[in-house]
Structure 1
Amino acid sequence: MFLVSASIFTLLSFTLPRLATSSVAYCNNQDYESGALGLSPYQTYDAAPYNPVQINYALPPRDCPANSQVSGYFFFSPLGLGTSLEMSGGLIMNPDGTLVYSTADLALVGAVMRGPMRYRGKDYLTLWVSNGAILSPSGSPLIGNGYNVLLNSSYDVVANITTSGLSVGADLHEFLITSDNTALMTAYPTTAYDLQSFNGSQDGYVLNCVVQEVDIATGKPLFTWQALDHVHPSECSTPLGTPFTGDGTADSPWDYFHTNSIQKNDDGTYLISSKHCSTLYLVDASGEIIWRMGGEKSDFTMKNGTNFTFQHHARSHGPKVISVFDDGAAGWEVDIPYPRGLLLDYDDSAMTVSLLSERLPFNRSSPSTSEGSVQMLSNGNSVVGWGSMPSYSEHDRRGDIMWSAQFAASNEVSAYRLFLQPWVGRPRTPPLMSIANSSSTENVTVYTWWNGATEVTSWQLRGSSLESPLKTITLTAVNKTDFETTLTYTGSGYAYYQVVAMNGHGQTLGFSNFTGLDGTTFGKGENQTVTAHPL
């Protein structure tokens, strides 16, 4: 079951009037920012059945909307409160705001995009998927019960990975593949617990957050850590009985700990983040806590600017350096007016934490009460996903903001995490095309797209007068500049049309089926082969 606090988001979708917009990102569009284009503007196409979020660069890069200084793609899942989103699911988007890939074709319930990860020397796209139940009862904390999937470069599902030996499946908060070809996951099983000392029932219930490492190939659990075995609820400042933490009943167990990130270090230790304890825990291979950073029982002296609360996405970066997203707020408490992305230096001899740099949002008008990520890039820059604020930005080595983009005009839309990463996708399914209803035997307009294809630089429109023998002629070719491309041909003599995806080397990547003006369709010719090198 997937339980969602109504104050955070729900994956349930309904239809409300919202204004559809163009595809390429806007640059400092005041109508977008004011909400005049709707709370969650979205893209539309002539034929492709997708409506991804529309991007607006509130702080534009120098070459907006191209943002050519950015290398790679953005991976995230817009999450909407109630009716806020036109289309939910995971997205891959270009820096210029155009769509690359939508998980909508997979028909996976509640898919949350995690981005590419490396397993056994190959890159795979990773998603979290709900077990099918999508509920949003009042008083329930944000938890998930499902599994993680690996998709190869053809977007085939090659692995399903979840927790083992627990009463629930993998939670959405963390999935990370280690260099040992294992997977780290969170889980939220319910446990009976006496809550009298917390003004609850003797026959109460808590979420006993679990950290588990699983061998991906076998599914065998290698490490299992349960919060109640190591952290007493009195260590955390989580109130019982709020809509954000649960009331301690079987239907709404108390989420006193709330694990939201895990990382395994090279020395075999684990870095665990507890949002509701406002603490990072370093845990050894036996499960014992080595130290606590932050929170009411911190083992470190937190120097100026280093205190964090209700944090997300803690990551070690070599010896003594940690990045963390400091929400500084939760549904029941606000400690800072807007979130921060922190890079911290810690000394585990002197037991002190110092601030290396901080990143601040472009829009500082509201706090972030949930979610968020800080990704450190190889050049020293960083990309921050601003949690319950629907925006993301790049920052230089000092933490200064370089540009900022938004994917909604309202905090009713958010993203759990957002990453900038390289990816090469060549779908196993063929490109798709649609002939416009206005087409005639002498004027043909064709719309084409290929969900997830990253190598396409141009499209060819081909025609054939007969189905058999099939002889195609290239009628026109155009560069690909958006998710959907329009091709037109003025002439006569062709009954059937086909599009061909080309890469930058002039090699064929894929062929669509043939489509006739009368709606007849049939597959590509036997002699039509892909000439691009296999991935």
Structure 2
Amino acid sequence: MRSPSLSSFLLLLASLLPSTEAANTFDVTRDDDLLSFVTMPNVKAIKYNITYHDRSRVSPGYWFVAPYSHLDADPYNSKFNPCQVGPHIYDQDGKLVWTGSCLHNNRNVFDFKPTNHIADGATHLSFILQNNYINDGTPLAKGAAYILNDKYLVENTIPITNDLERWDLHEFNVLPGGKTALAASIRIQDQSLAELGRPAESSRVASGGFVEIDLATSAVLFDWDSRDKIPLHESDHVMPWSPPEGGGGLDYIHVNAADKNVYGDYLLSARYTSTIYLISGQDGHIIWRLGGKYTNFAMDFTFSKQHNARFVSANETHTVLSFLNNASDDFTNQEDVSSGMIVELDTVRMTATLQSRYTRPDGSLSRMRGNLQRLDGGNVFMGWSAQGYHSEHAPDGTALMEAKFLSPRFNSYRSYKFPFVGHPQQPPALAASVYASQPSQAHPSAADAARANPELTTVVHVSWNGATEVAVWNFYSQADETAVPYLIGNVTKHDFESVFVTPGYWDFVSAEALDRHGDSLGWSRIVRANIEGALKYASEDGEQLLLVPDDPASLVAVEPAVEEIVVDPAPLVEAIVVDEEMAHEEAPEHVSEADDLLRAINDVVIGMILLACFGTILIFWWTRRFKWRPHRYLRLASSPLPSPAV
């Protein structure tokens, strides 16, 4: 447990009153702050509230976050909880792209982000899976780090292999080359308090450090710990009067970030000494300190309780760093607002100069957690942690965008932004349902007939968890699982889940995803439409409703059964034209013969036209009656009801 001074503790209580009140007034039984999906009923993803100040200058990419409701691991319980914490990807409109919340049964995940450092050159995803509530001896009880490919499949799991009690949640930094990674570490040991001027006392102390891990074997290649290198009195959190503690011990350093430069030396950020350390990769000694009680640099800026320190560049005389200046912790604050910083160190003259500052847009403090990410093109992405708050800034510090979870009950330890193309191996999820309604009738006497012949509508929902290239959904129906599918319509994809509504009862339904070029990306499975909604529509006298699926083959254009008859008038004209020399001598006779011929031809033509009309009517009746069915099939209320695909 931490041991603040009494005044700090009172300050903490005062500062937390508004937020505590806000948290207590939130009704946790509500879910209007969450997204729900027909195709993924177990998922409740978090909604965003977004403000753009200048969208034209925002960098492209997706948001990578890992919401959690509270930091500690949950004890096991059998009560159902929807999948809502863990790794998530959103687009810049706050629309869900991928949720991995069900991957580990709603278990907390931290530091979720893409990495391009794996040796195969492809983009991967990495995160930390939190330890179990109780260490039951299972391989992942202490937690582990994960690396996924762009199909969202696990390529590597890195467990704890040394004496550490758990995988620390603060850091999983895959280094360039993709062979090793850095992780934060914590060890709790008994230690004398002589460094605090109390040699007769001892306490449990939580020392901090980092390890470099071989990703292929999980072997620890380098292990650094603060116990014999950073004294207790360097802490600005544990005070000379802090009482001894058991359990988790005195948290005097609190490591939260580690990085490595091209020279093989390590960068270490310690929150409770407000110091960033450069540590030798040869023997582990501290080369220099930036900030804190014992800084080696003359600085033209201040910072405290920082997070996410990273190398920007390094050479023999200068080093550039980036980090989040929290300027506060749970109990105190040293400044009025948190900010991201990029600073340049002259390691010859031992001076430190502020290059850029990115102030939290709402003018508030991030009392814990958070990160700074430099984007391609010069923009900076800031994760402020509480309520998933993050912002994007222009190189000059101007805030271009800010967003936060709609719900105050969730946070994200870090937030990132990256370009990414997802190719999920799982097929699209599809659910279809049929509904019946009474057609509007001009006369009340038609109501009974309308109920006996209701209008049927098929509603199809489709989503593809993690697919980033879908532009259009094509929907198909077929007579049975092995029949030829026929296109029944399409919709443009605008959100995680798309909805297609079409007249009729389409029984066997599937969907095809197309990219913006019209190329096929993949197909859903074939599902049968759920008719439960339609069966609720029954006749007034309680008679059972008969549902007859439409036959998709009726959508195909067919050739007319009777060809259209076209009569050429030229022969008729020729038949009644006579030689001028016979016009006077045989006119009456020829006129009579021509008249008879015209009447006969007219009767034939009229007969053929009537026959064609009758045939057309017969064909039209036949197609409406049987809808070109190769076979006819019915589904009654007693038929088994299909379940939507999930």
Shift of 1:19: 5.1
**1:72 matches 2:61:** yes
Partners in 2 of 1:94 and 1:512 — Cα distance? Answer: 23
Among residues 373, 383, 386, which one is paired with 2:384 in the alignment? 386
1:461 aligned partner, one-letter code: F
Partner of 1:311: 306
1:479 aligned partner, one-letter code: T
| SS of residue paired to 2:237 | coil
Alpha-carbon contact 1:373-1:418 (below 8 Å) kept = yes
| SS of residue paired to 1:276 | helix
**1:472 matches 2:485:** yes
**1:276 matches 2:276:** no
**1:389-420 CA distance string (max 9 Å, x none):** 6421111111121221222464x543211111
Partner of 1:215: 214
Shift of 1:105: 2.7
1:342 aligned partner, one-letter code: M
Alpha-carbon contact 2:39-2:461 (below 8 Å) kept = yes
Partner of 1:486: 499
| SS of residue paired to 1:234 | helix
Partner of 2:449: none
Among residues 280, 284, 288, which one is paired with 2:285 in the alignment? 288
Partner of 2:534: none
Shift of 1:337: 1.6
| SS of residue paired to 2:101 | helix
**1:234-290 CA distance string (max 9 Å, x none):** 111123699xxx975442211111110111111111111000110000011121111
1:237 aligned partner, one-letter code: D
Partners in 2 of 1:134 and 1:16 — Cα distance? Answer: 26
Out of 256-265 and 433-442, give the one that drifted further. 433-442
Shift of 1:81: 4.5
Among residues 183, 186, 189, which one is paired with 1:185 in the alignment? 183
Shift of 1:515: 1.4
Partner of 1:171: 168
Partner of 2:405: 407
Partner of 1:32: none
1:325 aligned partner, one-letter code: L
Alpha-carbon contact 2:168-2:185 (below 8 Å) kept = yes
Partners in 2 of 1:110 and 1:459 — Cα distance? Answer: 33
Partners in 1 of 2:354 and 2:261 — Cα distance? Answer: 21
Shift of 1:178: 0.9
Residues 247 and 422 (structure 1 numbering): CA distance in 2 closer, same or farther, change over 3 Å? farther
Partner of 2:228: 229
2:351 aligned partner, one-letter code: T
Partners in 2 of 1:62 and 1:45 — Cα distance? Answer: 31
Residues 173 and 257 (structure 1 numbering): CA distance in 2 closer, same or farther, change over 3 Å? same
Alpha-carbon contact 2:68-2:108 (below 8 Å) kept = no
**1:506 matches 2:518:** yes
Partner of 2:44: 51
Among residues 92, 95, 112, which one is paired with 1:95 in the alignment? 92
Give the total of aligned pairs: 473
Alpha-carbon contact 2:457-2:502 (below 8 Å) kept = yes
Alpha-carbon contact 1:385-1:391 (below 8 Å) kept = yes
Partner of 1:34: none
Partner of 1:150: 147
Residues 389 and 483 (structure 1 numbering): CA distance in 2 closer, same or farther, change over 3 Å? closer
Shift of 1:500: 1.6
1:322 aligned partner, one-letter code: L
Alpha-carbon contact 2:83-2:101 (below 8 Å) kept = no
1:501 aligned partner, one-letter code: A
| SS of residue paired to 1:228 | coil
Partner of 1:496: 508
Alpha-carbon contact 1:465-1:471 (below 8 Å) kept = yes
RMSD: 3.1
Partners in 2 of 1:388 and 1:196 — Cα distance? Answer: 37
**1:192-218 CA distance string (max 9 Å, x none):** 212366479934211221310011112
1:307 aligned partner, one-letter code: T
Shift of 1:311: 0.2
Partner of 1:238: 237
**1:424 matches 2:421:** yes
Partners in 2 of 1:127 and 1:394 — Cα distance? Answer: 22
Return 5+ residue gaps in structure 1 as ranges: 1-5, 21-40, 136-143, 524-535
Normalising by structure 1, we get a TM-score of 0.81
Partners in 2 of 1:15 and 1:156 — Cα distance? Answer: 36
Partner of 1:443: 457
Partner of 1:330: 329
**1:464-493 CA distance string (max 9 Å, x none):** 11223x21111111111100100122235x
1:451 aligned partner, one-letter code: N
**1:470-524 CA distance string (max 9 Å, x none):** 21111111111100100122235x421111222222222222221112544799x
Higher Rg: 2
Shift of 1:46: 4.4
Partner of 2:356: 357
| SS of residue paired to 2:273 | coil
Alpha-carbon contact 2:58-2:400 (below 8 Å) kept = no
Alpha-carbon contact 2:181-2:212 (below 8 Å) kept = yes
| Percentage of pairs with the same residue | 27
Alpha-carbon contact 1:145-1:172 (below 8 Å) kept = no
Partners in 2 of 1:254 and 1:169 — Cα distance? Answer: 18
Partners in 1 of 2:163 and 2:459 — Cα distance? Answer: 55
| SS of residue paired to 2:377 | coil
Residues 352 and 145 (structure 1 numbering): CA distance in 2 closer, same or farther, change over 3 Å? farther
**1:274-329 CA distance string (max 9 Å, x none):** 001100000111211110000000000111xx211000011111132111100000
2:292 aligned partner, one-letter code: G
Alpha-carbon contact 1:449-1:485 (below 8 Å) kept = yes
Alpha-carbon contact 1:240-1:248 (below 8 Å) kept = no
Alpha-carbon contact 1:200-1:248 (below 8 Å) kept = no
2:259 aligned partner, one-letter code: Q
Partners in 2 of 1:340 and 1:522 — Cα distance? Answer: 48
Partner of 2:201: 202
Alpha-carbon contact 1:168-1:187 (below 8 Å) kept = no
Residues 522 and 464 (structure 1 numbering): CA distance in 2 closer, same or farther, change over 3 Å? farther
1:223 aligned partner, one-letter code: F
- The 4+ residue runs of structure 1 with deviation greater than 4 A are 6-9, 196-201
| SS of residue paired to 1:229 | coil
**1:1-28 CA distance string (max 9 Å, x none):** xxxxx9999xxxx9813351xxxxxxxx
Once the two structures are superposed, the pairs formed by residues 334-349 of structure 1 within 5 Å of their partners are: 334-349=333-348
Alpha-carbon contact 1:42-1:86 (below 8 Å) kept = no
**1:264 matches 2:253:** no
Residues 201 and 483 (structure 1 numbering): CA distance in 2 closer, same or farther, change over 3 Å? farther
Bigger proportion of residues as strand = 1
| SS of residue paired to 1:330 | coil
Out of 47-56 and 378-387, give the one that drifted further. 47-56
| SS of residue paired to 1:509 | strand
1:383 aligned partner, one-letter code: F
